């Protein structure tokens, strides 16, 4: 990318941060910086790249989408990502949220059910310069990735009626899990914190995500 196009892309990202994120209450400076740095166009299908920074999700094939920038930023803010954190990214999809988590300094373990999307995500993450900070697996995200647990944070980019028990079990004490919960008629983005007395949960904002599919035990 030439200097003029690079400057233009940077300017568009800054506009997106100001108009879509700051105005909606995203206050975490690290999240705002990460969203201004990660090149979303690298994770969007070529034919849709002109609209990479529009305020909405974009189809990426196989009935899946790349989430709205605001939802990505809000999820990362709620997850409380700190440098060096071990993070599980369930439903990596395009790899965009995976990249934002990595830009925040996390070591990210991603898992994507659709092999073609997982392969595409790995390619995009390498092109964006994050291949050394992420590890995207093909597989069932509802089962997590036990060999890399426990996680300080788990983020889920697909909706279920209840949290998969396995994801809760792989969360360390004090860890956060951010996931959309509900039905096709309506969902809440929920933040849950693991405590000795169980999960402390809070509904944050109404949302709409594609369904979470898998063989995991759904219990909470």
pLDDT tens sequence across 75-124: 999 999 999 999 999 999 999 999 999 999 999 999 999 999 999 999 99
| Per-residue tokens: 34 | 């990460």
Bridge partners of 153, per DSSP, are: 87, 176
Does the residue 44 lie in any domain?
yes
Does the residue 27 lie in any domain?
yes
Give the residue among 40, 43, 1, 49 at the shortest CA–CA distance from 17: 40
| Per-residue tokens: 93 | 């999809």
Does the residue 218 lie in any domain?
no
In the chain, which residue ranges form alpha helices assigned H by DSSP?
Answer: 3-16, 29-37, 69-79, 96-103, 115-128, 165-169
Radius of gyration, CA atoms only, the chain: 16
Does the residue 219 lie in any domain?
no
What gap in Å lies between CA 37 and CA 41, rounded to an integer?
Answer: 12
| Residue 216 banded pLDDT, cuts 50, 70, 90 | confident
85, 107 Cβ separation under 8 angstroms: yes
Active site residue 94: no
Does the residue 141 lie in any domain?
yes
Does the residue 92 lie in any domain?
yes
DSSP, collapsed to helix, strand or coil, labels residue 65 as strand
Position 4 pLDDT exceeds 60? no
Catalytic residue of the set 19, 48, 67, 94 = 67
CATH number of the domain bearing residue 71: 3.40.50.150
The whole domain housing 89 covers: 3-207
The pTM assigned to this predicted structure is 0.93
Q: What angle do CA 214, 158, 149 make, to 5 degrees?
A: 65
Does the residue 217 lie in any domain?
no
Domain count, the chain: 1
């Amino acid at each position: 990318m030439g200097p003029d196009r690079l400057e233009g892309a940077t300017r568009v990202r800054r506009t997106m941060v100001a108009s879509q994120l700051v105005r909606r209450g995203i206050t975490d400076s690290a999240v705002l910086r990460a969203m201004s740095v990660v090149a979303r166009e690298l994770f969007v299908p070529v034919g849709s790249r002109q609209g990479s920074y529009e305020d909405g999700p974009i189809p990426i094939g196989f009935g899946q989408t790349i989430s709205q920038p605001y939802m990505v930023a809000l999820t990362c803010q709620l997850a409380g990502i700190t440098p060096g954190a071990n993070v599980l990214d369930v439903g990596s999809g395009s790899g965009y949220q995976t990249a934002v988590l990595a830009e925040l300094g996390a070591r990210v373990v991603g898992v994507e059910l659709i092999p073609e999307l997982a392969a595409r995500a790995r390619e995009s993450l390498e092109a964006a310069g994050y291949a050394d900070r992420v590890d995207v697996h093909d597989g069932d995200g509802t089962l997590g990735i036990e060999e890399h647990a426990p996680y300080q944070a788990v983020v889920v980019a697909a909706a279920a009626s209840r949290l998969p028990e396995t994801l809760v079990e792989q969360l360390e004490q004090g860890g956060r899990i951010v996931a959309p919960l509900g039905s096709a008629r309506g969902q809440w983005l929920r933040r849950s914190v693991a405590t000795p007395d169980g999960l402390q949960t809070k509904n944050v904002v109404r949302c709409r995500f594609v369904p979470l599919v898998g063989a995991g035990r759904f219990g909470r």
